[in-house]
Structure 1
Amino acid sequence: MAETIIFALFYAAMLGIWTLLLLNVFLLYGGYQYSREAEEYTFPKLSDYLGLKKVSILIPAHNEEMVIGRTLTAMCEMNYPRDLLEIIVINDNSKDATGTEIERVKAEFPDTKVIHLEIIGDRGGKGKSNALNIGYQEASGEYLAVYDADNTPNANALYYLVYTMEQNDKYGAVIGKFRTRNKNKNILTAFINIETLSFQWMAQAGRWKYFRLCTIPGTNFLVRRRIIDAIGGWDPKAIAEDTEISFRIYNMGYQIAFMPKAETFEQEPESLKVWIKQRSRWVNGNFYVLFKNLLNPRYIKSFKVIVDIAYFFTVYVLFLSAVVLSDIIFIIGIFSGIRLAIPNGFFIIWALSYVVFLFQIAITLSIEKGEVHRKNLFLISIMYFTYCQLWLVASVRGLFLFLKETISGKGSKWYKTERF
């Protein structure tokens, strides 16, 4: 009886793993096609392009003294007309020298409109969504751009986002691409760099190619001000505010376009403790968005929302459950006397799934200049057995936090990623 149950679990695990593998291969092919198309994109010189709209850049900042100076400098050096640009730094209840750094950079760029919006007391300290809602009320731009406090975009990133937005009235938002700034710090940041390129950059590109949809990331994106006004701002209960607002933009009938030439570099967690907390917040927040829509079907007004719900369900529920099952079977095989008489064909299927996993990551790295080298090839060979297993810990923790907060009714507590 026990062997029958374990054998059934083995089948279920393989089904779940292969479902996501094949989905990723499908998205990889579309992403590869789109990456080749994007290489051919050309943009007119900024000085020759007429009709640019005013942009308000929103930068939420809470205790960001380590990074905000570099970030704000990069924003002030953006290749965009000074009279059409304002930068609003939402200094949200910071207890460190964040404000001092903002004022220092502000003084260095007197020709750029930098608004130091200081929030103190009970009005602040309620997370990124709350900070963005306060910040955008002060904005005067027709477009809103959002960047995290650790971002250093390339000089033309904002122009590329704006130019793309103005090509199609159906675009409600345009997202750029983000890269890992500290990828060479340690093995964890090296893994994050590979993950960012393969599971985020390629997945976004593939979904845009096939379905004309993308999910807004937390940074390096542009959105029409009138959309934010229409939906009443960001959901203050959502700690995955990027996913939540994406669904509402879909429901309004807009597309979220992807422009990978608009690049930003961000600092990633350099310690496992910080990484676990950050990823757990992502999982917790995405479960909130999934259940907010699944339990209230009236929210679902667009086919794109259904596609994204299915995608997130596959990633966070089906695949992770399958990996947990496979790990349980592995542990049972070691610590019990039960031995499964699994046909050799199934071992071949398992080995093939590992090969496919390696192949799709290697293809992605080959697209990025300078990413194919011996260190990365070694890392992707051990990634499934190491970094992917850490995702299980973060996902289980994120699910636990979601259930705990839902049952208690206290809501989610925002965790700001610690800087280095």
Structure 2
Amino acid sequence: MADFFVYFSWFLIWTMLVYHMFLMQGGYLHSMRYRKEEKELQKMKLPFPRVSILIPAHNEEVVIGNTLEAMSNLTYPAECLEVIVINDNSNDQTGEIAERYAQKYAFIKVINTKPPNGGKGKSGALNNGFHVSTGEIICVYDADNCPEPDAIYWLALGLINDPKAGAIVGKFRVVNATKNLLTRLINVETLTFQWLAQAGRWFWFKMATIPGTNFAIRSSILEELGGWDEKALSEDTELSFRVYNLGYHIRFFPSAVTWEQEPETLKVWWRQRTRWARGNIYVVIKFILSFHKLKRKNIGIDLFYFLYTYLLFFGGVMISHVIFIINLFVDLKLTIGFVSYILLVLGFLLFVTEALLALSVEKGQLTKRNFLTVLFMYFSYSQMWLFLVVYASFLEIKRVLLKQEVQWYKTKRFKQTVVPKDKSA
């Protein structure tokens, strides 16, 4: 019986590993051709559409100044641009800092929200901002983001020249990547996710997930969808599925780059990632239960991917770990011990290869230090996700059973690091 569970767990694990290898191949191919797409798009001489940038901000005094400074440096025509800071029930200097920029730049304006309409979390703030926006295209940036000057240009250009795209997703880089070991690990995770999951899925399936920042979506689509789901902790993932269901694709276009701050302490990381995991579990359950009502059944590709990640792959890893631990104390008479060790080593090598391939795409990232970070990541950071998913699942089950209200956690900010001069390739 123990042999069966070992085989079963390794089947679940290796199905995901092989799929990720497939995605990484697509991501690498996309990295080699998107510059050509840039040149083709620049040949199109369409008028600039009006763009509204929404920046939800709750107690963001540490970072909001740098973000608005980056907005003031955008190359997009100011007459076609409005930046809306949603000062969402802040009790610090966020509003005052934002107002100073609004007085200096005509295209920046601030709306202040208070309960009961304000202070409910990011989705509510975005809906409040959307209601007063005037742009044909809506872009979203978190309050810790510093987009590169041409980011909005690329997002808008990509969207208006692709009528089948409901939304277009840019690339984000970690501004504090070298702060400590945790931010180095997050940096590797971020780059791998974008070139494996985002670029790979776009290359093969014309799919990508809307992130929480640095994306553009048609205002008409948001109007049709009724804005953001205020019950969703992962409002970006939830919105992605609804955009798919309207028949649009979501395009990954790495020419649009933003620099964002990541957690610098384990406590902040844990709380942020718990929110993400809980949000994704909510999305998976929501759309599985309503799958029969969905118009576009190809959504199942992405839905199954999330389901596999949070249930099947996770279950396979847990089964494998439990059997390994039990076998240390009780002889389970496993007959495939040697094969398991081979698969374990091959899985580790595949993980390392995928991460290094993603790093190789970015200028200055394939370094000796990052190589050692990847090796360490497999045995530490990646394993932490197991405990996190268990914890997030427990909280989400508890919330549903006890009919608790969704509690939004805003990621703590740290003193902003200057954007590196060595920008992404």
**Of residues 287, 294, 298 in structure 2, which corresponds to 1:300?**
294
Q: 8 Å contact 1:92–1:125 — kept in the other structure? A: yes
SS at match of 2:378: coil
Structure 2: how far apart are the matches of 1:343 and 1:394? Answer: 28
**Of residues 63, 76, 82 in structure 2, which corresponds to 1:80?**
76
**Of residues 92, 95, 113 in structure 2, which corresponds to 1:96?**
92
2:353 — aligned with what? 359
Structure 2: how far apart are the matches of 1:234 and 1:184? Answer: 34
Q: 8 Å contact 1:177–1:201 — kept in the other structure? A: no
* Residues 1-400 of structure 1 aligned to structure 2 (within 5 Å): 4=1, 6-43=2-39, 49-107=45-103, 109-110=104-105, 112-336=106-330, 338=332, 340-400=334-394
Cα distance change on mapping 1:293 and 1:119 into 2, 3 Å: same
Structure 2: how far apart are the matches of 1:46 and 1:119? Answer: 39
Most deviating of 69-78 and 36-45: 36-45
Most deviating of 37-46 and 212-221: 37-46
Q: 8 Å contact 2:74–2:152 — kept in the other structure? A: yes
Cα offset, 1:342, TM superposition: 2.6
SS at match of 1:41: helix
Q: Deviations over 1:51-87 (max 9, x none)?
A: 1100000000001111111011111211111110000
Structure 1: stretches of 5+ with no match in the other structure: none
Q: What is the TM-score of this pair, normalised by structure 2? A: 0.93
Q: Which amino acid aligns with 1:289?
A: V
Most deviating of 153-162 and 304-313: 304-313
Q: Deviations over 1:264-323 (max 9, x none)?
A: 111001111111111111111111111111112244221331111011112111221222
Q: 8 Å contact 2:268–2:412 — kept in the other structure? A: yes
Cα offset, 1:104, TM superposition: 2.7
Most deviating of 37-46 and 160-169: 37-46
Cα offset, 1:341, TM superposition: 3.9
Structure 2: how far apart are the matches of 1:183 and 1:346? Answer: 35
Structure 1: how far apart are the matches of 2:293 and 2:275? Answer: 23
Cα distance change on mapping 1:94 and 1:353 into 2, 3 Å: same
Over aligned residues, Cα RMSD in angstroms?
A: 1.8
Cα distance change on mapping 1:154 and 1:351 into 2, 3 Å: same
Cα distance change on mapping 1:46 and 1:310 into 2, 3 Å: closer
Cα offset, 1:216, TM superposition: 0.4
Q: 8 Å contact 1:29–1:206 — kept in the other structure? A: yes
Cα offset, 1:344, TM superposition: 2.2
Structure 2: stretches of 5+ with no match in the other structure: 415-425
Structure 1: how far apart are the matches of 2:386 and 2:293? Answer: 30
Structure 2: how far apart are the matches of 1:147 and 1:201? Answer: 20
Q: Deviations over 1:90-115 (max 9, x none)?
A: 010111111122123333x33x4111
Q: Deviations over 1:33-60 (max 9, x none)?
A: 1110013333589999441100000000
Q: 8 Å contact 1:402–1:412 — kept in the other structure? A: no
SS at match of 1:303: coil
SS at match of 1:384: helix
Cα offset, 1:124, TM superposition: 1.1
Structure 1: how far apart are the matches of 2:331 and 2:205? Answer: 49
Q: 8 Å contact 1:276–1:393 — kept in the other structure? A: no
Count of residues in Structure 1 that have an aligned counterpart in Structure 2: 414
Structure 2: how far apart are the matches of 1:254 and 1:14? Answer: 36
Q: Which amino acid aligns with 2:100?
A: R
Q: Which amino acid aligns with 2:291?
A: P
Q: What is the TM-score of this pair, normalised by structure 1? A: 0.95
Cα offset, 1:340, TM superposition: 3.3
Q: Which amino acid aligns with 1:354?
A: F
SS at match of 1:201: helix
Structure 2: how far apart are the matches of 1:166 and 1:160? Answer: 10
Most deviating of 44-53 and 272-281: 44-53
Structure 2: how far apart are the matches of 1:185 and 1:375? Answer: 13
Cα distance change on mapping 1:349 and 1:46 into 2, 3 Å: closer
Q: Which amino acid aligns with 1:182?
A: N
Structure 1: how far apart are the matches of 2:309 and 2:44? Answer: 44
Cα distance change on mapping 1:219 and 1:117 into 2, 3 Å: same
Cα distance change on mapping 1:302 and 1:411 into 2, 3 Å: farther
Q: Which amino acid aligns with 1:278?
A: Q
Cα offset, 1:337, TM superposition: 5.1
Q: Deviations over 1:380-413 (max 9, x none)?
A: 1121110001111221121111111111122321
